[in-house]
Structure 1
Amino acid sequence: MRKKPYVTDAIIGNGNMLISLTKDGEAHRLYWPQIDYTDQINAQSAGFYDYETEKTLFFHGKSWKHTQYYRKNTNVLITVHQYENWVVEQKDFVLADRDVWIRRFKVRNTADYARKVQLLYNSDSSVGGRHHFQTSDFDENTDCLYQYNRSDWMALASPNPITNYFIGNLNLQALPDPFDGRSVFNHPESSLFFDFDTIEPQEEHAVSIYLACGTNKREVTDSIWYCRREEEDLEEITAAYWYKVLEKAERYSYGGERTQEIYDRSILTFHLLKDKKSGTFIAGPEGDENYDFSGGYAYSWGRDAAFIAAAVDAAGYPELVNEYYRTIASWQMDAGHWEQRYYTDGQVAPNWGVQIDETGSILWGIHDHYVQTGDKYFKEIMWPTVKKGAFFLKDFIDKETNLPKPSKDLWEKRDGEHSYSAAAVYGGMMGASKLAAEEGEFHLAETWEKVAVNIKTALETRVWSEKKGSFLRALKLAVSPSVYEEALAEGREGFIEYNQKGTPIYYLWEDDVTDICLLGLNYPFNVFDAGDRRMQKTADLIEAECTSAHIGGIERFPGDVYIGGNPWIITTLWLAIYKKRSGKPAEAHELFQWTIGHANHLGLLPEQVDKHTAEPAWVMPLTWSHAMFVLAVKELSAEETTQSLEEDLEAKR
């Protein structure tokens, strides 16, 4: 089983099925029956045997030149491969109402003489999430290859006659006739072969491949027969579905054609990265399932999803947000909080501790959705959830500092009483207070507002540093014993506490590292106005210390080493939004344009941009990146933006 690439260039799907492909059209991950679990393939690829050269050429090979794009306003992916006198158009899409992946290959001979090839399709599967313990079975009655493991089934078939097949080690099938007559074998690898008639000059031949997923043989076979009956219309039916999705989109005045392209692609991406069964959003398609450099991404975080939900509301899809919050209400822990992250089926995912900004963000988001929609039925349904969450947050306050008790920060790196976490809890408690007042629970409204006001006062009196000219990133930062001793030797203050087992925990009183997350004190949680002197000084320091010296864009914090310490899309857009809110639209526009310039060839936004190559880095698409893009478009489209931008640009001249 070979190592999969970390970076995804394209995705297709339908909310039950999520497929990741690279820019050469090869597929490496297929998640089903939910978009975060289980990965059913190791790779799916195609090529042909050229009888003239006696070579097998795979379309994703380095000899080919590749061009890739989405059919406009759809999630139909088109990859064009060119090599010598061959042009192959490859189309990939997933049916909206059936869990079937359609792959179409149109082979054109551009030479001035006739040629003959045999197309082959390789399936290297991991049905049920395991590369072993599965069976490949070719049924000549249905002309289908079935691959199955327990209740996970895949069927590979075509409307074209399958000339032959091979089950076994794919390294053996590079020859045009490797068959040994075996139709059933407990092996994950197999190939299908299609003989073409002679292809005349400028003529083209086409083959469609269907990959259906289901829970038994009958289910996947029914899907295959449906596709064969509807072969001529499948793409148009799918395209029409995505056209209808975009018809609902909220439109904003800001930006040119490329902005609108990425905005639409963001909406289409939200629909692909929202699980159809649960209604929850994941952070991105998985690219690091073995946790080589991270803790994985195909999970649902309350932190990300609060931004994502706000963006989906802004884009004009409140029903999706309603469904999301109603689902995660059922995930709330008995104590009133949410764990750090979840699988889309509601099971708690692997995590590394309490991250209190998650609970604060969810309560803020519930109230924000109510403000955006005025949906009183939603408010009534969510009120018990809000009430339980607010009680938890009220009790999660450090009486010494009036800040939320130590927990993980939003980057999941440090334990402490973080300013961003405090802002999220402030936003959650203010939202809960306003909802309590609407419910006639005035005592609760007053109590919860007081908690929020006390957090704001603590940020003003204990976290603001006049000496630094910025808010501190955190108080009570947990550190290792060696870091603690070094800090004390430098004159910094700290203390030691002991847990219930008597183990010492070392704390420094202040974490004064500049961090983009400090903008959260203004956006989205509105602890302080954008024009507040302290916010402005903090933002200026962030821009000075976090702008990448290599390619521009904004890094998370100085000294960041994660995936090389690159500028991020969300951080750059976060500063752009703040610039707009603080009356600097031209500077906001420049940051926004940097982001547009670093979308990939399909309009997808990565988590990071490689500071050396300026290419997309790490997870792509990152749902949070697309959410910040939509939110930035909304902010920059405010009524005064155009006039203010023109005036600001004129002043700069």
Structure 2
Amino acid sequence: MSSYLEKKPYLVDAVVGNSRFLASLLHTGRIVRFWWPHVDFPQHADTLRSGIRLAGHERTSWFDGTGDGWNHSSAYVPKTNIFSVTAESGSIPVKVQSETYAVPGEDLLILDYQLTNTSDQAISFSFSFYSSIAVAESPFYQTTQFHHGSDSIVHFRHDHYFAVSSANVCAKYQAGHAWDNANSGSLNGDDIQMASDSAMDWSFDNVAPGQTVRHTVYLAAAHKLDDAAALLGKAKEIGIDAWRESTSRYWIDFVATASSCPINRPDLQELYERSVLTMKLMSDEKTGSIIAAPEFDERFSVCGGYAYCWGRDAAFITTALDKAGLLDMSTRFYEWTLTAQDSDGAWQQRHYHDGSIAPSWGLQIDEGSSILWGMYQHYLALPANSREEFLKLVWDAVRSGAEFLTSSINESNGLPIASKDLWEEREGQHTYSSAAVYAGLKAAASFAGLVRESELEAKWAGIADGISKQIVSLCWNEEQGVFYRGVQLTVDKYKYEQAANAGLPVSEIVDGKGYSRYRLGFDPIVDVSLLGISVPFDVVSPDNRQAVLTADAVERALTVPGVGGIKRYEDDNYIGGNPWILTTLWLAQYRARNGQVSEAEKLLEWSVEHRTSSGLLPEQVDKNSGETAWVVPLTWSHAMFILTVHLIADARNAESSHAQNEPSAQILQ
């Protein structure tokens, strides 16, 4: 079992954390990944296992798996980020109830177990905990050591120390190469090895029928050995009941600081609360950065990774946080953006928590544009007495960011230069990206007006208006009644030649090194991102003919037969081309903004029905089975849910207000 970064599942069932720790779990309660001291990097878990070995039995039964007939039921404790699991087996007479959580404000992860004898006679058993920790995702220079003073196993490498212990005194231990012996119950007492794994056993003797014993495993993290040992001592001294109460109270109080779901329906309120709790876990305590999702594809075997901060995602997320009344989290994020901006004013495609550039495919111009747009949305959401301070905080970044955008306009057609699209799959002058630049420059112009920079205000607003005119003219496909996805799409030579032979507009550009770049004049693929032209970027209003026709084309072309939901674009094949939660909610937002409330509610209903069993929103739903298909949880999905319920509530209120203000038939007569 001991191996560097054991192959892990892509899909998980739960996340717990405290904005320092972040851990992802299966429905069995097994932790498969954990991050510390930041939520994005580094990840340390190879594998962590929990098991029981009955007295007289030759091997350990790992109850966090499905062997030996173990069945599991799991759920979050309401209004908290505490994950609870019950495990039972027809062949093992012990019911295990566990809770896993990170203590807010502490570098402490808790796995708390209550073990009940379900037989009609007394039993004795050992509790086994196996930990293989590949510190900082590295196979090199790992050391595992048993510390007698703290009765703990410590995994360490460089300045990362992870100490595992319990309030109960262990009966056996083994540092290094422990998996086989953990299975057989013959831990050999080795004190130290240059290896990544270890195991500990605790004994429970003569547990009476129906009796419950409690066993808590503490995992303390620190940058020094003494600090890890001290934190374990503190954990044991304070005790599990106090830790559990303070953690529960913290999350309940956090939920209470957020606004309530604006639609009075229990399931929506529950998902609303789960959404704000999830977004908190994705926000790094020390930096304010917000990640798209906990990483699940660390080898980049299927995708390019998700545990990064995208300015685009975060602009939607912070707008949702503002709607939910969590303004401080948004402010912290925009403070972080100042650390991630390039010297020329650009923001790159994605970043680590410390603002450094993450692995990238190149410039994606909607990222920085979205940040500028989001900054202004946040400014408007702030109370009046906080706006001036925020304006001073961001103004220099706004000016630099806007100037970068103004220098990035293609003089030949008035649209922003070619860059990667929001899905990071193709290069061109994308219509959504152009709409984002329009909105970013409009936001910057509004900021300029606030600081009385009238020349900049006029300049940026004028360039934005020029982009708007080009979008509604150059990017409009009248024949199909929908916006083009973009213009000047970069393609390979084969597609270029096909298009040229078909008489379509194409061009070949030879760069300074003699390389040819091939471009199609127009990209006609229907893409859900075209909704962004009206919602949220307001290039055209939702009731504008072009917006109405485009939304109808999106629903017609992208609704998935059978299972329902909206996929990203017509020929999407990523993970099989499934419907996404956020894309379905995006169309719901458009319908709500356009006063089509019942249509919006149906799309919302579909998204709610496809949350996971633990109440999280994934990225995708399988197009055949309707089951969760990819990424759990996706922060953007949760943000779109919050934005959607607010827009639907606003639309309902507008309908009600309109009905109340309608003159009665008698008056009209």
- Alignment-derived partner of residue 70 in structure 1: 76
Counterparts in 2 of 1:66 and 1:177: CA distance versus 1, 3 Å: closer
- Alignment-derived partner of residue 179 in structure 2: 171
Kindly state the Cα deviation for residue 489 of structure 1 after the two structures are TM-superposed: 1.6
- Alignment-derived partner of residue 366 in structure 1: 375
- Alignment-derived partner of residue 16 in structure 1: 20
Distance in 1, matches of 2:192 and 2:58, equals: 29
Distance in 1, matches of 2:187 and 2:225, equals: 25
- SS in structure 2 of the partner of residue 563 of structure 1: helix
For residues 252-401 of structure 1, the aligned pairs below 5 Å read 252-373=261-382, 374=384, 375-401=387-413
- SS in structure 1 of the partner of residue 101 of structure 2: strand
Kindly state the Cα deviation for residue 118 of structure 1 after the two structures are TM-superposed: 0.8
- The alignment's C-alpha RMSD in Å is 1.5
Question: Residue type matched to 2:528 in 1?
Answer: I
Encode CA deviations 1:485-522: one digit per residue, 9 max, x unaligned. 11112221100112221110000000000000000001
Q: Assess if the C-alpha contact under 8 Å between 2:311 and 2:368 holds in 1.
A: yes
- Alignment-derived partner of residue 614 in structure 2: 602
Name the TM-score, length of structure 1 as normaliser. 0.97
- SS in structure 1 of the partner of residue 566 of structure 2: coil
- SS in structure 2 of the partner of residue 492 of structure 1: coil
For residues 81-230 of structure 1, the aligned pairs below 5 Å read 81-84=87-90, 85-230=93-238
Distance in 1, matches of 2:99 and 2:596, equals: 44
- Alignment-derived partner of residue 444 in structure 1: 456
Question: Residue type matched to 1:550 in 2?
Answer: G
Kindly state the Cα deviation for residue 637 of structure 1 after the two structures are TM-superposed: 1.2
Identity of aligned residues (%): 36
Q: Assess if the C-alpha contact under 8 Å between 2:597 and 2:651 holds in 1.
A: no
Q: Assess if the C-alpha contact under 8 Å between 2:100 and 2:109 holds in 1.
A: yes
Which of 33, 55, 61 in structure 2 is aligned with 1:57?
61
Detail structure 1 runs of 4+ shifted over 6 Å in the superposition: 644-647
Q: Assess if the C-alpha contact under 8 Å between 1:585 and 1:641 holds in 2.
A: no
Encode CA deviations 1:327-350: one digit per residue, 9 max, x unaligned. 111221111111111000111111
Distance in 2, matches of 1:125 and 1:173, equals: 17
The count of aligned residue pairs is 647
Kindly state the Cα deviation for residue 467 of structure 1 after the two structures are TM-superposed: 0.3
Which of 484, 489, 503 in structure 1 is aligned with 2:496?
484
Q: Assess if the C-alpha contact under 8 Å between 1:585 and 1:644 holds in 2.
A: no
- SS in structure 2 of the partner of residue 47 of structure 1: strand
- Alignment-derived partner of residue 582 in structure 1: 594
- SS in structure 2 of the partner of residue 191 of structure 1: strand
1:532 maps onto 2:558 in alignment: no
Which of 547, 562, 568 in structure 1 is aligned with 2:574?
562
Distance in 1, matches of 2:27 and 2:139, equals: 25
Kindly state the Cα deviation for residue 559 of structure 1 after the two structures are TM-superposed: 1.6
Distance in 2, matches of 1:353 and 1:227, equals: 46
Q: Assess if the C-alpha contact under 8 Å between 1:40 and 1:129 holds in 2.
A: yes
Kindly state the Cα deviation for residue 52 of structure 1 after the two structures are TM-superposed: 5.3
Counterparts in 2 of 1:450 and 1:41: CA distance versus 1, 3 Å: same
Counterparts in 2 of 1:33 and 1:483: CA distance versus 1, 3 Å: same
Question: Residue type matched to 1:394 in 2?
Answer: T
Question: Residue type matched to 1:56 in 2?
Answer: T
Question: Residue type matched to 2:79 in 1?
Answer: N
Distance in 2, matches of 1:408 and 1:481, equals: 19
Distance in 1, matches of 2:264 and 2:512, equals: 56
- SS in structure 1 of the partner of residue 650 of structure 2: coil
Q: Assess if the C-alpha contact under 8 Å between 1:147 and 1:154 holds in 2.
A: yes
Distance in 2, matches of 1:115 and 1:298, equals: 45
Distance in 1, matches of 2:115 and 2:650, equals: 49
Kindly state the Cα deviation for residue 199 of structure 1 after the two structures are TM-superposed: 1.8
- SS in structure 2 of the partner of residue 579 of structure 1: helix
1:43 maps onto 2:47 in alignment: yes
Distance in 2, matches of 1:468 and 1:170, equals: 65
- SS in structure 2 of the partner of residue 520 of structure 1: helix
Kindly state the Cα deviation for residue 222 of structure 1 after the two structures are TM-superposed: 1.1
Kindly state the Cα deviation for residue 645 of structure 1 after the two structures are TM-superposed: 13
Question: Residue type matched to 1:75 in 2?
Answer: N
Name the TM-score, length of structure 2 as normaliser. 0.95
For residues 458-469 of structure 1, the aligned pairs below 5 Å read 458-469=470-481
Question: Residue type matched to 1:7 in 2?
Answer: L
- Alignment-derived partner of residue 651 in structure 1: none
- Alignment-derived partner of residue 79 in structure 1: 85
Which of 31, 41, 63 in structure 1 is aligned with 2:35?
31
Kindly state the Cα deviation for residue 255 of structure 1 after the two structures are TM-superposed: 4.7
Counterparts in 2 of 1:631 and 1:88: CA distance versus 1, 3 Å: same
Q: Assess if the C-alpha contact under 8 Å between 2:59 and 2:185 holds in 1.
A: no
Distance in 2, matches of 1:423 and 1:602, equals: 36
Counterparts in 2 of 1:155 and 1:464: CA distance versus 1, 3 Å: same
Kindly state the Cα deviation for residue 227 of structure 1 after the two structures are TM-superposed: 0.5
Q: Assess if the C-alpha contact under 8 Å between 1:107 and 1:205 holds in 2.
A: yes
Question: Residue type matched to 2:70 in 1?
Answer: W
Encode CA deviations 1:386-437: one digit per residue, 9 max, x unaligned. 1111111011011111110100000000000000001100100111111111
Question: Residue type matched to 1:51 in 2?
Answer: A
Q: Assess if the C-alpha contact under 8 Å between 1:359 and 1:389 holds in 2.
A: yes
Q: Assess if the C-alpha contact under 8 Å between 2:45 and 2:135 holds in 1.
A: yes
Distance in 2, matches of 1:148 and 1:642, equals: 59
Distance in 2, matches of 1:645 and 1:25, equals: 48
Kindly state the Cα deviation for residue 476 of structure 1 after the two structures are TM-superposed: 0.2
Encode CA deviations 1:7-47: one digit per residue, 9 max, x unaligned. 12111111111111111111111111111111111111101
Kindly state the Cα deviation for residue 642 of structure 1 after the two structures are TM-superposed: 8.4
